[in-house]
Amino acid sequence: MTIGIDTLPGPTETRMNDRYRLYGANGSPYSVKVRAAMRYRRLPFDWVLIDDRVAGVLRQVKVPVIPILQHPDGRLENDSTPLLLDLERRHAGRRIVPEDPGLAFLVRLLEDMADEWATKLMFHYRWHDEVDQRYCAQWIARDRLGPAGAEAIDAMARQFRDRQVGRMGLVGVQAENRPVLAECYRRVLALLDAHLADAEYLFGDRPSLADFAWYGQLWDLGIDPTPATIMRQTAPRVHPWLLRIDDLSGRQEGEWPAPDATLSIAARGLLAMAGEVYLPFLLANARAVAQGSERFTVTLLGHEFSQAPFGYQAKCLRQLRELFAALPREARLRVEPVLELAGCLAPLATSH
C-alpha cells in the first residue's frame, strides 16, 4: 500500500492497532538510534523510510528533520532525545534510563556527547574523501528513491553530496580539524573494543540511552567505506556489537549496576573524553554564541579546532548543567568524584 500524507491520522484520530509510526532513513544516525531503542523496548511501531510518498510529514513538524515519530493519536514529534525520554514516561518496563539519578545523569552526558560530538566523526568520514562521498551519496539516494532509475538516483546523489560537502565548514568537519576527529574516532574504537572483550553495555547488563546514541553514530561509521575499514582493522569487536544492538527485542532485560559500582572501561574512557574534548568544545562554543562571534577556535588534544558557533549546542551545555544542578544531594556527592576524575566537574558545576 502506498503511504501518503493524506493517510496520516488527524490530531484526534487513533488508529485501531494503536501502533507508532517511525519515519526515518537508514543513513540517519538518529533514526537508527530511535529504531533500535524502540525495538529493545518492544514498542509496537512501523518503520517507514522517508521518500517522496511520505515527505509531506516533514512539513508537519517545526524543524523538518528525521526521525519523526507519529503517535497512535496522530501527534508528531522529532528530536531523538526528548522523543525517547517521552517514551520512557509513557511506557513501563525495559527502560533505557537508570532509576538512580546519578547513573541517569552519566547516561545523559554520554548520550549528549554521542549526539553532538560523535556525529562530527560520522559527518567528517562520510564527506571528506571522494570514495566515501560517492558511496554514501548513492546509498542515501537509493534509500530515498528506491528503484527510480540510474538517472534520477545520480541526480539526487549529486545534489545531496554537494549540499553536505558544502556544510562541512559550518559544522566543524573541515580538513584542518581532521587530526582531532581522527584521534577521537581511534580512541572511541579502542575503548569499545577493550570493553567488549568481557562486557556488552556501557552501564551494567542492559542497554542505556547512551548505548543507543553511540550505536547510531557508529552504525553509519561501520558502513561508510573509510571508517568501516578502520573499524574492522583496529577494533574487530565493534561491528558485531553494532549488529547486535540493532535489534535487542529478544534479549533479556538485565540489571543496572549498583549506584556505587565501578564504572565500565568504556564509560570511564568516554567520560574522560567528555572532560578532555566535548565539554571544552561546548564551553568555547557557548562563549562564542554569547559574544556573537562568527567563528571560534579551541585547542583539543593538542590541535586547534575551529568552527562557527552553534546555538543548539549552547543549549545542550545549559541543559547538562541544569540536570547536574537538579541532582539530589546524595546522588551528586556520589558522581562528583567520578566527574572530577574525568575532568568534567568544573564545566558542569559552573553557570558562567
CATH code at position 82: 3.40.30.10
252 by Cβ neighbours in 10 Å (0-12 / 13-18 / 19+) ranks as exposed
User: E-assigned strands of the chain?
Assistant: 20-24, 45-49, 68-70, 76-78, 296-300, 303-307
> What is the structure's pLDDT at 351?
59
Residue 62 lies in a domain: yes
Residue 338 lies in a domain: yes
> What is the structure's pLDDT at 226?
96
Residue 242 lies in a domain: yes
Residues 159 and 302 in one domain: no
Residues 277 and 175 in one domain: yes
Give this prediction's pTM. Answer: 0.92
What value does the mean pLDDT take over residues 345-350?
Answer: 92
How many domains would you assign to the chain? 3
Element (H, E) at 191: helix 178-195
Three-state secondary structure call for residue 3: coil
Residue 294: pLDDT over 90? yes
Residue 4: pLDDT over 60? no
Q: Measured between alpha carbons, how far is residue 192 from residues 213, 240, 265, 333, 346 in Å?
A: 14, 12, 8, 28, 26
Residue 13 banded pLDDT, cuts 50, 70, 90: very low
Residue 226 lies in a domain: yes
How many other CB atoms are found less than 10 A from the CB of residue 133? 20
> What is the structure's pLDDT at 15?
41
Residues 344 and 310 in one domain: yes
> What is the structure's pLDDT at 42?
97
How many alpha carbons fall within 13 Å on the CB side of residue 147? 0
Q: Provide the residue range defining the domain that includes 55.
A: 5-90
Residues 152 and 211 in one domain: no
Residues 106 and 186 in one domain: yes
pLDDT digits over 83-134, tens only?
999 999 999 989 999 999 999 999 999 999 999 999 999 999 999 999 999 9
Residues 236 and 337 in one domain: yes
Residue 235 lies in a domain: yes
What value does the mean pLDDT take over residues 170-184?
Answer: 93
Q: What is the mean pLDDT of the chain?
A: 92
| CA R_g for the chain | 20
Residue 95 lies in a domain: no
Residues 209 and 86 in one domain: no
What value does the mean pLDDT take over residues 26-32?
Answer: 95
What value does the mean pLDDT take over residues 147-165?
Answer: 89
Residues 174 and 67 in one domain: no
Distance of CA 178 to the CA centre of its chain: 20
Q: Does residue 141 contact residue 160 with C-beta atoms inside 8 Å?
A: yes
- Choose one of 60, 90, 120: the last residue of a domain: 90
Torsion, CA 109, CA 114, CA 116, CA 122, rounded to 10: 170
> What is the structure's pLDDT at 11?
35
Residue 41 banded pLDDT, cuts 50, 70, 90: very high
Residue showing cell 547486535: 244
Residue 282 lies in a domain: yes
DSSP letter at 74? S
Residue 96 lies in a domain: no
Residues 159 and 175 in one domain: no
Residues 238 and 334 in one domain: yes
Residues 282 and 312 in one domain: yes
Residues 224 and 124 in one domain: yes
